Amino acid sequence: MTETISHPMAMNGKDPRNLRGDLITPERYYSREWMQREWDHLWTKVWHIAGRQNEIKEPGDYIVHNFMHESVITAKQADGSLKGFYNACGHRAQKLVRESGSQDSWTCPYHGWKWSIDGSLLDACDRDDFPQGDPVDKIRLIDVRVDTWGGFVWYTMDNEAPPLLKYLEPLPEIYRNHPFETLVRIRQVRVALNTNWKFSGDNFNESYHTRTAHPQVPAVIDQDHFTSRYEMFPMGHARIIQMGRPSLRDRVPEGKDHPYKATLRFWGIDPDQYPDYETMAMQGWLDLKAAKRKQWKEKGFLQYEHMSDEDLTESPFGVLFPNIAFGAAPDGMSFFRWEPHPSDPEKCYFDYWMMAYPIEGKTEYVHRTASKPYEFKEAELEVRDYDGGRGVMDLEDTVVFQDWGLTEGQQAGWRSRGYQEPYLAAQETRVRRFHEVLHDYLDGKPPGR
């Protein structure tokens, strides 16, 4: 077991003195002009996730990631490396492939130009009919920069963007003891929502709403703002680290089923040995860390090997600027991503990936804040329309379901003549910081360059 990594780059994310105080004006949530500025200065500058590395294991495997009106292919090459290309034919720009798959070459559905997965042109119809020269010798697909971290495949449309590890700084260092590349994506849902994409940037940068919107959470993750740690980093990323024990201010009534007790029992701790609720919460939490340290191997939790005391029980929740959030728990990762709609600033797409570490002999996984178990196997993508909640009712027991329920009311509020500049709690400091980093991008001064 290793020591907790409290990174020297971290600014206190609960101290508004670390902000400039930029205003969060309302038109950013509905104006097409803002949307265009975000395309020009944000989305074409950041690193995006195309998918998981285990989707492209063999040469010829490729992922298609559509982002707004753009589409990018990342493909595994014969030598094991990865290459990325814009998904637009070099002849007259037809979209080459519609979905992820596995092929030795791509044949354009329009005039049949045949492309190698390395981006070169292999063949074309009537090669002798081009007065300007045989296209096979002259034309390639346009490259996109690709890299990997954490078991994810990333790309950027910007040749001047910092290298991926610099862009993510210091998260790769902070999470170096987590074997993210071994995570299995056991649920993969994309939901079309009626709100601007920044709903989620705001929402995931604060846990102030948890007591109201997610009343099931305080029983397993301490929601007290004074027991949590808040971090903001120079590249725009941020974290909150909440303690993995019951909040003392939100008690589960005596006699009611308590999920934390089940966790204690699983690790061989009798919750009834403690004289009162406080002792169960506080001493039980220390006993849990000790029990995990002692029994991880025999119980098959091999991913615990290099985790710190903090990693073993706490709930670190990170927002990777601008559109990814992830909770790196000891048993898995909840991963969330939100992407703008191609043309309507009041719509977006929300990706919910539940990922878990394989445990020998275990065929199901239950997240600590949910009740339904998921079958432990790689999941197919499910695409849903939110439809007032009707499109996602089977996800009713998840925390994000409750967030989705707030999207349309929030969008209406941003549109209202009653909109006021947000009146933020200290624990919402990361919300304003998110907009300040966004402003830096839109002003052509993104961090790290």
User: Where on the chain is the footprint of ligand FES (CB under 6 A)?
Assistant: 89, 91-92, 94, 108, 110-113
Least distance between ligand FES and beta carbon 74 (Å) = 20
202 forms part of the interface with Fe ion (CB under 5 A): no
DSSP 3-state assignment of 178? coil
Least distance between ligand FES and beta carbon 96 (Å) = 7
- Neighbouring C-beta atoms of residue 43, cutoff 10 Å: 21
| Residue 335 contact partner, candidates Fe ion, ligand FES, none, CB within 5 to 8 A by sort of partner | none
Comparison of 74 and 242: residue with beta carbon closer to Fe ion: 242
Comparison of 27 and 143: residue with beta carbon closer to ligand FES: 143
| Residue 110 contact partner, candidates ligand FES, Fe ion, none, CB within 5 to 8 A by sort of partner | ligand FES
Comparison of 296 and 336: residue with beta carbon closer to Fe ion: 336
Distances (CA, A) of 52 to 87, 184, 376: 19, 9, 17
Least distance between ligand FES and beta carbon 110 (Å) = 4
| Residue 66 contact partner, candidates ligand FES, Fe ion, none, CB within 5 to 8 A by sort of partner | none
| Residue 403 contact partner, candidates ligand FES, Fe ion, none, CB within 5 to 8 A by sort of partner | Fe ion
Least distance between ligand FES and beta carbon 114 (Å) = 9
Q: Are the CB atoms for 374 and 354 separated by under 8 Å?
A: yes
| Residue 311 contact partner, candidates Fe ion, ligand FES, none, CB within 5 to 8 A by sort of partner | none
Least distance between Fe ion and beta carbon 55 (Å) = 28
Dihedral of CA 41/47/52/55: which sign? positive
Q: Are the CB atoms for 20 and 438 separated by under 8 Å?
A: no
Calpha distance 354→327 (Å, rounded): 10
- Please select the residue that binds Fe ion; options are 403, 404, 427, 438, rule is CB under 5 A: 403
Comparison of 113 and 357: residue with beta carbon closer to ligand FES: 113
Comparison of 310 and 403: residue with beta carbon closer to Fe ion: 403
Q: Are the CB atoms for 217 and 252 separated by under 8 Å?
A: no
Binding window for Fe ion (CB under 5 A); candidates: 57-65, 156-164, 223-231, 397-405? 397-405
Q: Which two tokens stand for residue 158?
A: 């910007």
| Residue 94 contact partner, candidates ligand FES, Fe ion, none, CB within 5 to 8 A by sort of partner | ligand FES
CA geometry: angle at 296 spanning 293 and 302, to 5°?
A: 125
DSSP state of 342: S
Binding footprint of Fe ion, residue count (CB under 5 A): 1
Comparison of 111 and 306: residue with beta carbon closer to ligand FES: 111
Q: Are the CB atoms for 421 and 24 separated by under 8 Å?
A: yes
DSSP 3-state assignment of 101? strand
| Beta strands per DSSP E along 259-323 | 315-320
Comparison of 72 and 89: residue with beta carbon closer to ligand FES: 89
- Beta strands 82-86 and 143-149 are antiparallel
Q: CA-CA-CA-CA torsion for 257, 260, 266, 270, nearest 10 degrees? A: -80
Least distance between Fe ion and beta carbon 68 (Å) = 25
Least distance between ligand FES and beta carbon 63 (Å) = 21
Q: Are the CB atoms for 43 and 68 separated by under 8 Å?
A: yes
CA geometry: angle at 143 spanning 142 and 147, to 5°?
A: 160
Least distance between Fe ion and beta carbon 413 (Å) = 16
Q: Are the CB atoms for 274 and 288 separated by under 8 Å?
A: no
DSSP state of 308: B
Binding mask 256-275 for Fe ion (x = CB under 5 A): --------------------
Least distance between Fe ion and beta carbon 226 (Å) = 20
Q: Which two tokens stand for residue 169?
A: 């700084």
Where do we find the tokens 């992830």?
A: 326
Comparison of 56 and 97: residue with beta carbon closer to ligand FES: 97
Comparison of 108 and 431: residue with beta carbon closer to ligand FES: 108
Q: Which two tokens stand for residue 433?
A: 């910081």
Q: Which residues bind Fe ion (CB under 5 A)?
A: 403
